[in-house]
Amino acid sequence: MYDAVVIGAGPAGYVSAIKMAHLGLKVAVVEKEHAGGTCTNKGCIPTKALLVSSHMYHEAKNKAKRLGVNVQGVSYDFKAIRSHMQRAINTSRKGVEYLFKKNGIDYVKAEARIEKPGVVRAGDQTLQTRAILIATGSKPTIFPPFDQVEGIWTSDDVFKAEALPESILIVGGGVIGVEMGAFMGMLGAEVHIVEIMDHILPGEDQDIADVVKKSLTAIGVKIYESSKVTKVEKRGEAFVATIETPKETFDLRVSRVLLSVGRRPNIGEDVKELGIAVEKGIVTDDHLRTSVEGIYAAGDVRAKIMLAHVGFHEGIVVAYNIKGQEKKVDLSVVPSVIYTSPEVSSVGIREKDMDGERHGVAKFPVAASGRAAAMGEREGFAKVIYEKDTGRVVGFSMVGPFASELVMEAAVAIKHGLTVEQLASTIHPHPTISETLLGAFEQAEGKAIHL
Partner 1 sequence: MRKVVDGKIWVEVAEPVLVGVTKDFLEEIGDVTYVGFQKSAGDTVNKGDVIVSLETVKAAEEVVCPVSGKIVEVNKDLENDPEKLNEDPESVWLVKIEAAKEELESL
List, by residue number, the catalytic residues: 430
Tell me which of 71, 74, 79, 91 binds partner 1, using CB under 8 A: 91
Q: Using CA atoms, how far apart are residues 192 and 420, in angstroms rounded to an integer?
A: 40
Q: Which stretch binds partner 1 (CB under 8 A): 71-79, 88-96, 292-300, 321-329?
A: 88-96
Q: What is the nearest approach in angstroms of partner 1 to the Cβ of residue 41?
A: 14
* Cβ distance to partner 1 smaller for residue 97 or 225: 97
Pairing of strands 393-400, 381-387: antiparallel
Bridge partners of residue 122, in order along the sequence: 112, 125
Question: Which of 67, 74, 79, 98: binder of partner 1 (CB under 8 A)?
Answer: 98
Task: Single out the segment in contact with partner 1 by CB under 8 A; choices: 85-93, 210-218, 326-334, 433-441.
Answer: 85-93
Residue type for position 220? G
Q: Residue 74 CB, nearest distance to partner 1 (Å)?
A: 24
Write down the least CB distance from residue 80 to partner 1, Å.
12
Q: Phi/psi of residue 265, each to 5°?
A: -65, 150
Per the CB < 8 A criterion, the answer to whether 47 and 182 are in contact is no
CB of 92 to partner 1, least distance (A): 9
Q: Given the complex with partner 1, which of 90 and 422 has the nearer CB atom?
A: 90
> Using CA atoms, how far apart are residues 123 and 74, in angstroms rounded to an integer?
50
Residue 94 engages partner 1 in binding (rule: CB under 8 A): yes
Identity of the residue, 29 or 344, whose beta carbon is nearer to partner 1 in the bound complex: 29
Site for partner 1 in 25-84 (CB under 8 A): none
| Choices 2-10, 90-98, 176-184, 374-382 (CB under 8 A): range interacting with partner 1 | 90-98
| Residue length of the chain | 451
Tell me the C-alpha distance between 367 and 379, whole Å.
Answer: 6
User: What single string gives the DSSP state of each residue in 191-248?
Assistant: EEEE-SSSSSSTTS-HHHHHHHHHHHHHTT-EEE-S-EEEEEEEETTEEEEEEE-SS-
Nearer to partner 1, 78 or 98 (CB): 98
Contacts of 182 (CB under 8 A, 6+ apart): 51, 54, 215, 216, 219, 221, 339, 340, 341
Nearer to partner 1, 95 or 262 (CB): 95
By CB under 8 A, name the binding residues for partner 1.
Answer: 87, 90-91, 94-95, 97-98
